Structure 1
Amino acid sequence: MKLKTTCCVFVCLVLLSFSQLLAQPLSKKTIFTHADTLRGSNGPGRNWWDVTKYDLHVKFNIKDSTISGWNEISFKTLKKGSLMQFDLQEPLLLDSIILSSNENKINESGYQTKTTRKYHRKVIEFKKNGNAYFFYNSNYATTQQLTIYYHGKPTIARRPPWDGGLIWSKDKSKSPWVSIACQGLGASVWYPCKDIQSDEPDSAEMHITIPDTLVCVGNGHLREQVKNDDGTATYDWAVVNPINNYCLIPYIGKYVHFGEIFKGEKGDLTMDYWVLDSNLEKAKKQFKDAPRMMKAFEYWFGPYPFYEDGYKLVDAPHLGMEHQSATAYGNGYINGYHGIDLSGSGWGLKWDFIIVHESGHEWFANNITSKDIADMWVHESFTNYSETLFTEYYYGKEAATAYVTGTRKKIANDIPIIGPYGVNKEGSGDMYYKGGNMLHTIRQVINNDSLFSQILRGLNKTFYHQTVTGKQVENYISAQSKIDFSKVFDQYLRTTQVPVLEYKQNGYTLQYRYTNSLPGFKMPLKINFKGQRWIKPTANWQTLRLYPEGDNQFYVDPNFYINTKKVD
């Protein structure tokens, strides 16, 4: 009895943690402040300049849980402006700001040239407004650098990754194990930056100093490891592709490495695995799902978007996160979600949930990034559906259908999937399973899997390494499919109403209409009535009369996410 109780408690805790994962990264606040607007909007302190590179230097002082360092932000001006905003979250303290720029000269032919000599290098006075800092930049050079020095004891994550911040943990041997999870909360929880999703640096470097008894793993490739003369070592990691602020993350611990080369669509892809030394043998077995994932997702979505930076799985002191080219892994080296099939179909136990889901974000979240977190469905709905596509690739369509329809029991229909814009607020956690089922429904309406695959690959090619609005994605799908899905997106993303097909059946006569739907909603449906056929319901009653012979059992193809109701 005690064993059963323990198992029940474990299952409940896992399911609770997953429900909170759906709510991650932010709270369900409905009243917003000026600070929310500063954090979530592309305001006058942000909209005239574009980050080109972060060059981050940070020392991690593990004994007292503090950090110190600086970030050199290279940027270019998009238009004339003077007010600059960057973000650094309390209780971190800003020490100083230095602004410099490349001098522009006009040569004898009248053409502008650039020199590498810096000028106007000076300390800048600034004003603080909560977690936002402001100053006036009167220098109108096209290319400039902003170096921000800071230190302090950053926010500690109480329950990562759902409640973000710094993670000061220990492994089984009591050695330090440190990392960060900050999606939604923002990268400014540990380094100064322009903390908005719509502006990604085109490249980034991390120079992380730690005790020389530990190893630091970061995004991209390791360029240099230097052992200092004070018992520390500095690891230089660099990415050459655009990267989300919240994806730029170090992992610090007793790491060991193994890897392989994946023969992909763009050639050789390095796949590296950094795990705690105690997990090495388990990882060699469990991480076989990584090349399987890569093969399936390159089939559906196109080439892995970051060949130049490679792919990594890294042992993390939390469940997992889509840190670009360095995916955080914390699923306990077992299949499913901590050993549970979230679909209830059985198929979710055939593969490792974190490897598949978080890696799917390399295409949807890291390659294609929503400008505003309100459109986070672009990340989560497609990545949720990647689980179904992975299942289909290896186990067939029936398995995939069972998986995706099995997840519908987790849909809450509490608030719309799209959140309010400009205040750093996501919508409903339904962006996962309702969003995935919406895409599955759209696929049925397209009724051409080859075209559907082309659309998925086309999204990743058309919006390669870009930030987008949700509307851009919606319009692309409608344009490429030559089907107007605008009302379908409005219905499933912007309302909590699940369409209901009301029907009356009298022998060989079927009447039907949509209710609980938006005006103009007329999504086609595949039904069974005298055999399988398509109907085009609207809000008005329509009648279908067929010969009385044959099977008159009526039902809607379960691949469509709608409800049905028989009426008199």
Structure 2
Amino acid sequence: MTPKTAIALLAAGVLAPAAPSWAEGAPPLDTRTAQSDLPLTGPRAAMHLLYAGLSFELDPERHYLNGNGQYQVQAREDLARLEFDLDPRFRVYSIRLEGAELAANQWSSTDGVLTIALPKGLKAGYTTLVQIAWDGSPHEAINPPWEGGIVWSETDDGQPWIATAVQGEGCDLFWPCIDHSSQGIDALDLVVTVPKGLVAAGNGRLIGTQDNGDTTSFTWQARNPSNYGVTLQVGPYELAKRSYESRFGNTIPLMFWHLPGKAEGANRLLGELEGQIAFMEDRFGPYPFGDEKVGVAETPHLGMEHQTINAYGNGYQLEANGHDWLLQHEFAHEWFANQLRPTSANDMWLAEGITTWTQPLYLAHTRGQEFYDAEMRSNRERVWSRVPLVPPEGELPDYNDREALWGDDIYFKGSWIIHTLRSLVGDEVLFPAITRLTYDTDDPRPGSIRPINRTTEDFRAILEEMSGQDLEWFFDAYLYKADLPRLVAARKGSQLELEWQTSSALPFVMPVEVQVGDEVRTVDMAGGRGRLDLGSADRDYALDPANRILKYDAAVEAAQNGKSAD
């Protein structure tokens, strides 16, 4: 998802009243449907979707969707029924099992759960084919992408312009699925039928189009899509495209579906994507979906990292740093969200934090260290630390909680945690560790890459193995506790005494750099305490002069509270 820049923060209501609703008067979401990653229990925990064939017919005038899904379901354990998540505002009007129509009393769709009885049961390891037909008016997004749903918009000349953005709420906003980050689909066929003159840009590879007279059907095929990454992006699109020769020897199609009259901006951004691919592949590993495409579609909302077809709504703005921040952010999500997938929303910082950190990292690559430092300082002012970044087991975070602001911290505190890790373990550990975290191998190659689910503890284990350090103290203080470490300094004559204070029971042993005159010294903080001889009682010093450590800052807190620091 997109980070909240100053403009986006205003739109989301963090720094100002909430923006006008995209769907004024829309009925509220069912409580269950409104939240992804509810605990996996019962059949939802024992089902694996080997294949989904999804067909959607969109009626922009009525804001209506007719859907049909064919699923090959494999049982991980013996099953007496199947369960899918689905917004109860939809009417389910037909279900077939192995081609046979089920009677109405063999299934039910209530309270956000579609339950299908299996007359003969399904043994562990076996598969069955189920077909579901549904229709209705899907939930309309209130403030996409942060409060998601479907967007029924229009271009300046009045043509339909449609998009979905459902990360926080989940795939069940418009199709039956298992709405949990740990669940995916091995293979997807996606058919989108739209009024003639419109184009449906989709996940994966375009297999073909069919002229139906008044409508056109677009058939897409994708491997291993994430649930929330399955998307509908429709408009009177034109296509800008080119090919990219990867350092790994494969050729990657680059495609940008843009509105008429935007070809110049789209082609400029395709040029930027070439530089971003080169950078990301050099730092982390091969583009994960090179066998399909790098895809972008212009959308009426700001953006979203839909797998191989990222939403872009930044208006082709020219920026002083020389590249489009939104394009870069969403593209980096192909590595960190679509390839490396958080196991649940509780580990969402892995996707958003690492992705946000790639933005200053890319600026350092293209413009120099000064730009990296400036971007990190800007990010620091958006770290709130009011709640743990990784919520306790059994608790689900609220992305849009304006008090807790966890939805900000997963971006900006997450990026600063990676920045601080970099100073602790060094580039020689951090970059290979991120590669292993992302691909589950130290030497990823095109053709053998498949998405992987990861947890915060997976990252810690990899870092500990590769660095030889015990990092429990670091992860406990930064990820599982809300408040930031405080560095307390006391001067006794020429002696500078330093102490870390955290709410963790473990000593926080982060070394501290101290600048004394022209010299920078490193103070070992064994047990959370350290001492440095300054040489004289009146000698000036500066703590952490390169701003490498995420820590409590009274000036930042005062600014966040709208006051000046004392």
TM-score, normalisation: structure 2: 0.85
Question: Using the alignment, how far apart are the partners of 1:12 and 1:457 within structure 2?
Answer: 31
Decide whether aligned partners of structure 1 residues 13 and 295 sit closer, same or farther in structure 2, where only a CA change above 3 A counts: closer
Question: Using the alignment, how far apart are the partners of 2:138 and 2:309 within structure 1?
Answer: 22
Question: Using the alignment, how far apart are the partners of 1:84 and 1:423 within structure 2?
Answer: 26
Letter in 2 for 1:459: L
Decide whether aligned partners of structure 1 residues 483 and 527 sit closer, same or farther in structure 2, where only a CA change above 3 A counts: farther
Q: 2:533 aligns with which of 521, 545, 561?
A: 545
Aligned-pair CA distance for 1:162: 1.9
Alpha-carbon contact 2:75-2:122 (below 8 Å) kept? no
Aligned to 1:477: 463
Aligned-pair CA distance for 1:563: 3.8
Letter in 2 for 1:285: R
Aligned to 2:272: 289
Decide whether aligned partners of structure 1 residues 132 and 39 sit closer, same or farther in structure 2, where only a CA change above 3 A counts: farther
Letter in 2 for 1:410: R
Query: Cα deviations across residues 335-382 of structure 1 (Å, max 9, x unaligned)?
Result: 45xxxxxxxxx7xx4321111111111111100111211211111111
Letter in 1 for 2:236: K
Q: 1:533 aligns with which of 521, 535, 539?
A: 521
Question: Using the alignment, how far apart are the partners of 1:235 and 1:146 within structure 2?
Answer: 23
Q: 1:465 aligns with which of 451, 473, 476?
A: 451
Letter in 1 for 2:237: Y
Aligned-pair CA distance for 1:454: 1.6
Aligned to 1:192: 176
Aligned-pair CA distance for 1:442: 0.6
Matched, 1:353 2:325: yes
Alpha-carbon contact 1:154-1:165 (below 8 Å) kept? yes
Aligned to 1:273: 256
Aligned to 1:455: 433
Query: Cα deviations across residues 298-347 of structure 1 (Å, max 9, x unaligned)?
Result: 111211111111111110110000000001000011145xxxxxxxxx7x
Query: Cα deviations across residues 122-167 of structure 1 (Å, max 9, x unaligned)?
Result: 5571233411122333133712222111011111112221221111
Query: Which segments of structure 1 move beyond 6 Å, counting only runs of 4 or more?
Result: 32-38
Alpha-carbon contact 1:157-1:165 (below 8 Å) kept? yes
Moved more, 360-369 or 12-21: 12-21
Question: Using the alignment, how far apart are the partners of 1:304 and 1:540 within structure 2?
Answer: 41
SS at the partner of 2:478? helix
Alpha-carbon contact 2:141-2:151 (below 8 Å) kept? yes
Question: Using the alignment, how far apart are the partners of 1:17 and 1:416 within structure 2?
Answer: 25
Question: Using the alignment, how far apart are the partners of 1:454 and 1:128 within structure 2?
Answer: 47
Aligned-residue CA RMSD (Å): 2.8
Alpha-carbon contact 1:72-1:148 (below 8 Å) kept? yes
Q: How many pairs are equivalent?
A: 515
Decide whether aligned partners of structure 1 residues 192 and 380 sit closer, same or farther in structure 2, where only a CA change above 3 A counts: same
Residues 314-353 of structure 1 mapped to structure 2, 5 A cutoff: 314-335=297-318, 349-353=321-325
Matched, 1:243 2:190: no
Question: Using the alignment, how far apart are the partners of 1:135 and 1:85 within structure 2?
Answer: 6
Letter in 2 for 1:436: S
Aligned to 2:368: 396
Aligned-pair CA distance for 1:398: 3.2
Query: Cα deviations across residues 241-291 of structure 1 (Å, max 9, x unaligned)?
Result: 211111111211110111111111331111111101121222222442211
SS at the partner of 2:122? coil
Matched, 1:365 2:353: no
Aligned-pair CA distance for 1:50: 0.9
Alpha-carbon contact 2:478-2:484 (below 8 Å) kept? yes
Alpha-carbon contact 1:227-1:234 (below 8 Å) kept? yes
Question: Using the alignment, how far apart are the partners of 2:415 and 2:353 within structure 1?
Answer: 5
Decide whether aligned partners of structure 1 residues 540 and 47 sit closer, same or farther in structure 2, where only a CA change above 3 A counts: closer
Flag structure 2 segments of 5+ consecutive residues without an equivalent.
Answer: 19-29, 400-405, 442-449, 555-566
Moved more, 423-432 or 264-273: 423-432
Alpha-carbon contact 2:240-2:266 (below 8 Å) kept? no
Matched, 1:301 2:284: yes
Aligned to 1:163: 147
Flag structure 1 segments of 5+ consecutive residues without an equivalent.
Answer: 1-10, 24-31, 101-117, 337-345
Aligned to 1:105: none
Letter in 1 for 2:439: K
Alpha-carbon contact 1:445-1:525 (below 8 Å) kept? no
Aligned-pair CA distance for 1:459: 1.8
SS at the partner of 1:350? coil
Q: 1:67 aligns with which of 65, 68, 76?
A: 65
Moved more, 534-543 or 188-197: 534-543
